Amino acid sequence: MLVIGGSASIDLAKELATVLDCPYISASTMRFPDGECYTRIDMEKIDDDAVIVQNTFPDGNLVEMFLLQDAARRLGAKSITLVIPYFGYARQDRVFKPGEPESAKIMCKMLDMNCDRVITVDIHKEVVLDNFTCPHKDLKAAMAIADYFAEKGIDIVLSPDIGAAGRAKEVGDYMGLPYDHLNKTRLSGTDVKIAPATADVKGKNVLIVDDMIATGGTIVAASAALKEAGASAVYVACTHGVFVNNALERFTGSPVESVLSCNTLNNAVSHISVAGLVADALKDAFAGKW
Ligand code: R5P
């Protein structure tokens, strides 16, 4: 097996190759003056199973993934496994109004053309992966997050909404801690309202877990509600730190003690690694376990 790092996921690809003790192969990617993508896998021939690690967000990275898949196939890769740490378009998983595309489905269909296996991490809706015809697996970052916070004095794990309640349960169970969820109402693309916590958080160190932070509106409102309810400290961990429009800055001066993300996307706080989880899933795949 060899690991090819697309330009969106170089650090994770290198770490994955180290954990797996297999070759890391770089790809030379640049943009033509008109913005189109050029890429080349830096090899003459692939006589091995290829693992391509590349986020499909934003759109330019998705195009690069298509090109890397074709290049790997042409070089003779025995099989192509896509590791997509952050799967773009997973939130657009259905047609909400007539005239809209089924965005997640069409992205899967295009990726499916040149791949034999797909691994994602905490994809927004797991059902999206059923659009692939090849074997696929969504990995849960809960254990990596739980391990990271094991010795940090957390008393309770909460999700900011009911949709992420399962994630709070997983992290809570790994840590041997109680868990609960808050109730969120979205007011706009950037702002949400969080109902007062039902769990007793008075004097407690709370860990909020979510699949992603985009504008930061959810976490700002959730942390304010928890402080209001008497929480002693609020820590935040998400899988995907998208942090649009410098969202990290919104936490300065907020009641949040610290914000961390996994390294599915590179950012200033992506200190929780999912490389071990991905490596284990790959080992299982090549051992025929899935
Ligand atoms: C929503 O379903 C997700 O789990 C996140 O809570 C949401 O995407 C976070 O977005 P934002 O940071 O913009 O509030």
Sheet with 37-41, strands from edge to edge, namely 37-41, 24-31, 2-5, 49-53, 79-84, 117-121, 136-139
Atom 4, ligand 1: residue with shortest CA distance: 211
Summarize the confidence of residues 26-48 as an average pLDDT.
97
Q: Is the CB of 6 under 6 A from ligand 1?
A: no
Distance 213 CA to ligand 1 centre (A): 5
The whole-model pTM stands at: 0.94
Residue 48, both tokens? 């091995």
Is the minimum distance from the CB of 214 to ligand 1 under 6 angstroms? Answer: yes
Tokens for 42, please give them: 């830096």
211 lines ligand 1 (CB under 6 A): yes
Instruction: Tell me how far apart the alpha carbons of residues 149 and 281 are, in angstroms, rounded to a whole number.
Output: 23
Q: How far apart are CA 108 and CA 129, in angstroms?
A: 7
CA 164 to the chain's CA centroid: 14
Angle at 42 between CA 39 and CA 48, to 5 degrees: 115
CA 133–ligand 1 middle distance (angstroms): 29
What residues contact residue 224 under an 8 Å CB cut-off, 6+ apart? Answer: 194, 254, 255
| Parallel, antiparallel or unpaired: strands 2-5 and 136-139 | unpaired
Using one digit for the tens of pLDDT, what is the confidence trace for 198-208?
Answer: 889 999 999 99
Residue 5 and residue 86: Cα distance in Å, rounded? 14
Confidence of residue 190 (pLDDT cuts 50, 70, 90): confident
Q: How confident is the model at residue 214 (pLDDT cuts 50, 70, 90)?
A: very high
Mutate to test the pocket of ligand 1, among 187, 191, 218, 251 (most ligand atoms within 8 A of CB): 218
By residue count, the chain amounts to 290
The whole-number pLDDT of residue 191 equals 83
Ligand 1 atom, smallest distance to 124 CA: 4
Question: Of the residues 184, 202, 204, 289, which is catalytic?
Answer: 184
260 CA to centre of ligand 1 in angstroms: 15
Mean pLDDT of 214-221: 94
Q: What is the pLDDT of residue 253?
A: 86
- Of all protein residues, the one whose alpha carbon is nearest to atom 9 of ligand 1 is 213
113-151 tens-digit pLDDT: 999 999 999 999 899 999 999 999 999 999 999 999 999
Per the annotation, the verdict on 125 as an active-site residue is: no
Find the 214 Cα to ligand 1 centroid distance in Å.
6
Residue (of 255, 259, 288) closest to 272 by Cα position: 259
**What percent of the chain shows pLDDT beyond 90?**
92
Comparing CA positions, the residue from 179, 167, 172, 185 lying closest to residue 225 is: 185
Mutate which of 185, 211, 242, 249 for ligand 1? The one with the most ligand atoms within 8 Å of its CB, which is 211
pLDDT at residue 275 in the model? 98
Query: In which residue are the tokens 């309810």 written?
Result: 229
If you average pLDDT over residues 269-290, what whole number do you get? 98
Average of per-residue pLDDT across 50-55: 98
- Per-residue confidence band for 213, with pLDDT thresholds at 50, 70 and 90: very high
Atom of ligand 1 nearest to the CA of 163: 2
**88 CB under 6 A from ligand 1?**
no
Task: Answer whether 241 contacts ligand 1 (Cβ < 6 A).
Answer: no
Cα separation, 148 vs 272, in Å, equals 7
DSSP-based three-state secondary structure for 220: helix
Tokens coding 164:
């992420």
